[in-house]
Amino acid sequence: MAKISDLKRIGDDKVTAIGMGTWGIGGYESPDYSHDRESIEALRYGLELGINLIDTAEFYGAGHSEELVGEAIKEFEREEIFIISKVWPTNFGYERAKRAARASAKRLGTYIDLYLLHWPGKEWGKIEETLHALEELVDEGLIRYIGVSNFDLKLLRKSQEAMKKYEVVANEVKYSLKDRWPEESGLLDYMKREKIVLIAYTPLEKGSLARNACLAEIGRKYDKTSAQVALNYLIWEENVIAIPKAGRKEHVEENAGAMGWRLSREDRERAKLCVV
């Protein structure tokens, strides 16, 4: 793997500021095998470029996304890769969460670096049981860190208070130039103070920000594309990592180009006005 110097911390690990998202890779709510080779090649290309973070979930393609990630990483040193997966709310609960994590690890063919509760679900009791089950899985070595996803500030705090042995190290939420709710709600500032990583999904708003002419104009100053400007806006924050979809090689390469530089403070403010 090549080395990228634009790194953030998750726990004691250093990961690239841009990761590779796999929602839709290998299918959505059911498996789709039609683009498997292209998907594996795209993920491998990203690893070759030096991107070391891959985000997946048991829900993606009913587990097939995890299988593709497992296949893609076979040629690489496992210790140099950071893998995130997630448990779906239907598998919340002490025993069910443990079974789900083991099934995900089996599909991946390896341990899980960061395991997230994918959505809050409706029952706090189930969330708490799941968090405690995950703490035991850390002790077993099946997972290394615990996090949440789509948790608002109130629920994030409650989850922190529920932990017995370990900390919540990350919260994966929708965050983009167009949807800046983590900034507006106070979630981002709180997570900065608590040293919790914010992992931003849908950072390009399904490609719409990659076609934004105003962002493209800002990008010309840096010899960067509109997509790279939109991603750089996010990783400008010290505790933010972005995970755009890694479905094709050319997109992975463009995403990687969002690292290694930073917008000026003035241009970052200008970028906000591009999506008003």
Element of type H or E holding 139: helix 124-140
Closest CA to 224 of 194, 264, 179: 264
CA distance 146 to 148: 7
Amino acid letter, residue 123: E
Q: Report pLDDT for 58.
A: 98
- Residue 52 near residue 255, CB atoms below 8 Å: no
The predicted model scores a pTM of 0.98
Q: What is the mean pLDDT of residues 98-124?
A: 97
Q: Is the pLDDT of residue 84 over 90?
A: yes
- CA Rg value for the chain: 18
Q: Report pLDDT for 121.
A: 86
Q: Is the pLDDT of residue 136 over 90?
A: yes
Percentage of residues in the chain with pLDDT exceeding 70?
100
CA distance 213 to 83: 34
Residues near 123 by beta carbon (within 8 Å), at least 6 away in sequence: 92
Closest CA to 112 of 18, 23, 10, 203: 10
Record: fold of 7-205+230-263: TIM Barrel (3.20.20)
Which pLDDT band, with edges at 50, 70 and 90, does 3 fall under? Answer: confident
Element of type H or E holding 71: helix 64-72
- The pLDDT tens digits of the residues spanning 64-77 come to 999 999 999 999 99
Q: What are phi and psi of 242, to 5 degrees?
A: -110, 145
The ranges assigned to domains in the chain are 7-205+230-263
Cβ neighbours around 275 below 10 Å, total: 18
Instruction: Give the catalytic positions in this structure.
Output: 60
Which pLDDT band, with edges at 50, 70 and 90, does 2 fall under? Answer: confident
Q: What are phi and psi of 21, to 5 degrees?
A: -85, 150
